[in-house]
Amino acid sequence: MRPLIAGNWKMNGLTEDSANLARAIRSGLGDLAPEVLICPPATQLAAVAAILDGSGILAGGQDCHTKRHGAHTGEISAAMLRDAGARYVILGHSERRAEQGETDALVAAKVEAAVAARLIPIVCVGESAADREAGRQEAVVGRHLAGSLGAEFKGVVAYEPIWAIGTGRVPTSADIAAMHAFIRTELVRAQPAGAETRILYGGSVKPGNAAEILALPEVGGALVGGASLVAEDFLAIIRAA
């Protein structure tokens, strides 16, 4: 399976910075093998997608609403993301689960909306530090998978331990491999396409640790936050894939 390296810019980037970053990534890419995705803030999506057009690098959204259109002030539908150039959408990121109180059921409804709009969902799952300390990480991730994906999931799963996001702390390679093996087993057990689903790792992926993480069994790519905001760092992670 071709690895996927996805950059999540989160709430960062005004017009000029975003355009410069997208151009730098585009021109630095050459003909590297992994699939590459950039998820800018919604205000920059159309402009970034236009800059990436024809490069093979795809654009994506960071969230979408469950409805196609209607009276939902401030919200953005999956169809709108698709229309603005997105091909993927990140759903259920732990920052949204924490800050917006997103539940597994809501994420599952967003998955359905995304697929209906021909977007590929990237569903984030992962445990907190307290869950990990108590040895509950598989129970928590299992619950996320059971509740967030829906019945016939065709998308990408991103394992992102909350305590590793933006902290510079990463699980040991053995812990990442164990969790990815657990996720694969759960996907195969519960989903018709479970054997083919790509499972990304996310949480403090940097140029210095990317090669080791990306070589682990069942790691099908990376979801990169902070390091995707620096072209050279993101390109180095892509080269490691």
For ligand PGA, the closer CB: 153 or 163: 163
202 three-state secondary structure: strand
Does the footprint of ligand PGA cover residue 226 (CB under 6 A)? yes
Binding to ligand PGA by CB under 6 A, coded x per residue (else -) over 1-20, reads -------x------------
Site string for ligand PGA, 156-195 (x = CB under 6 A): ----x----xx-----------------------------
Q: Is 112 a catalytic residue?
A: no
Give me the least distance between CB of 231 and ligand PGA, in Å please: 15
Among 119, 115, 221, which Cα is nearest to 160's?
Answer: 221
Give strand pairing partners of 124.
158
Cα(22)–Cα(38) distance, integer angstroms = 8
> Which C-beta is closer to ligand PGA: that of 79 or that of 235?
235
Beta bridge partners of 223: 6, 202
Stretch that binds ligand PGA, among 11-19, 103-111, 132-140, 221-229 (CB under 6 A): 221-229
126 binds ligand PGA (CB under 6 A): no
Residue 35 per-residue DSSP state = E
Q: How far, in Å, CA of 155 to CA of 167, rounded? A: 27
Q: Where are the beta strands (DSSP E) in 111-230?
A: 120-125, 156-159, 198-202, 221-224
- When CB distances to ligand PGA are compared, the closest residue is 225
The residue from 205, 210, 219, 237 that contacts ligand PGA (CB under 6 A) is 205
| Span of 45-53, 56-64, 132-140, 199-207 interacting with ligand PGA by CB under 6 A | 199-207
Catalytic site includes residue 160: yes
Residue 139: CB atoms within 10 Å: 12
- Looking only at the bridges linking them, the beta strands covering 58-61 and 120-125 are unpaired
**81: exposed, middle or buried (Cβ count in 10 Å: 0-12, 13-18, 19+):** buried
Residues that bind ligand PGA (CB under 6 A): 8, 160, 165-166, 202-205, 223-227
Q: Which residues are catalytic?
A: 93, 160
